[in-house]
A = this chain, B = another copy of it.
């Protein structure tokens, strides 16, 4: 017998993995809802015209394309095929969702007349990428996004920080939240006259701790940043201290850049608001934070776990033009995305999953046969009506087998009704962990678990 498999980079979720995944998604959704975010879902398949060209050339290659159904060969040119230059678009018009952002942008444009702006939406769905699978990277994985669109207010940035803080507090994961602003980075590039080298600069600065100041400067020089510009960059490379101290240095450096000062003002507003409503997590202004630089136009966020060595577990930022690519201009917004797979790993490593899931079976009734079954059935029904997940072993198997079943499924209590219990109208309850047994009146059983 050849065991069947699943496509590489995909996963089955067993009951225990589902319990963990549900815990993560339920926690995050609950916090999203507390902040008024509304859930939407979009189809797994989008038209390729919606997806193509939105993720760069590399991204286009990573799209999973779906073969047209029916007679997909009709009208295809054999010569083009032979030349191996047949565009996939001839035989494919649909692809699997690559992220949640492009489908969301498409959704907003398509339903713009039904939406009241500002629109707070969240979306938790799988996405698919034909990436080379490796440890921790899958071809099917979940994204978990919240965005507020149609509002420039910095209150939204504050609320996203509060959401991040509340989510990780609930998970009991200690985190540091990094914050930056694209306008500050633009201001720096403007000041030193190296607008197009901003990525090289942030990458080099990020290495300060690892390679030291001299090597950072050498790397900048190697990347073609002028001696004069490197000179001007020194206070920024060596930026340290509290957020206030950093801001005061930056205010001086950026004094001649309008854009830079605007970014600084935005960060200050957000910091002031969080000072009035303090977070549990530390919030650190970090100039090396440059994720999605081409996309974000204002705030940039990133979250790191303090007690586990792992990359960013949440990120986000503000953007100017979500839907421009679909012809609808002027829809700006700010959003965050929780990295579900990494959070899954962090919770595992720190052993932070809550103990017994309330979703699991709490009582297994042992089955001795017909008569006993008829005695048990109304009791089991009563427990279920009271909200206690309950099972009856479906046949009168050997007792050892029935107890193993309880063990394997981590069922904490076994209920036993044999001849003597039935004669007395009672039931014996065994605590599987302590081994303790007690006999009680059948009608009391609900009180024990409810």
Contacts and interface: CB of A to CB of B under 8 A. Distances in A.
Interface string A134-155: 0000011000000010011101
Contacts of A428: none
Contacts of A348: none
Contacts of A360: 33, 38
B88 A67 contact: yes
Interface string A395-424: 100000000110011000000000000000
A73 B62 contact: no
Contacts of A86: 73
Nearest to A329: B1
Given A35-B384, A67-B67, A389-B34, A4 B273 contact: no
B390 A155 contact: no
Given A73-B81, A130-B70, A276 B92 contact: no
Interface stretch (A11-19, A226-234, A294-302, A311-319): A11-19
Interface stretch (A41-49, A174-182, A251-259, A338-346): A41-49
Interface string A350-372: 00000000011100100100000
A427 to B, nearest CB: 17
A349 interface: no
A377 B276 contact: yes
Copies per complex?
2
B41 A373 contact: no
Contact of A15 (B2, B67, B96, B121): B121
A183 interface: no
A448 interface: no
A326 interface: yes
Contacts of A391: 35-36, 120
A99 to B, nearest CB: 15
A120 B69 CA distance: 35
Per DSSP, chain A at the interface is mixed
Contact of A395 (B151, B367, B389, B394): B151
Contact of A45 (B74, B140, B373): B140
11 contacts: A3-B110, A6-B47, A7-B45, A12-B41, A12-B107, A22-B39, A34-B390, A61-B69, A73-B86, A120-B391, A156-B394
Interface of A: 1-7, 10-15, 18-19, 22, 33-36, 38-47, 49-50, 61-62, 64-67, 69-70, 72-74, 76, 78, 81-82, 84, 86, 88, 91-94, 96, 106-107, 109-111, 114, 116, 118, 120-121, 126, 128, 130, 139-140, 148, 151-153, 155-156, 158-159, 162, 166, 273, 276-277, 326-328, 359-361, 364, 367, 373-374, 377-378, 381, 384, 387-392, 394-395, 404-405, 408-409
Given A36-B391, A45-B128, 19 more contacts: A1-B326, A7-B45, A15-B39, A18-B41, A22-B39, A33-B360, A35-B391, A36-B361, A67-B91, A72-B88, A73-B81, A73-B84, A74-B84, A151-B395, A153-B395, A155-B367, A155-B392, A276-B378, A277-B378
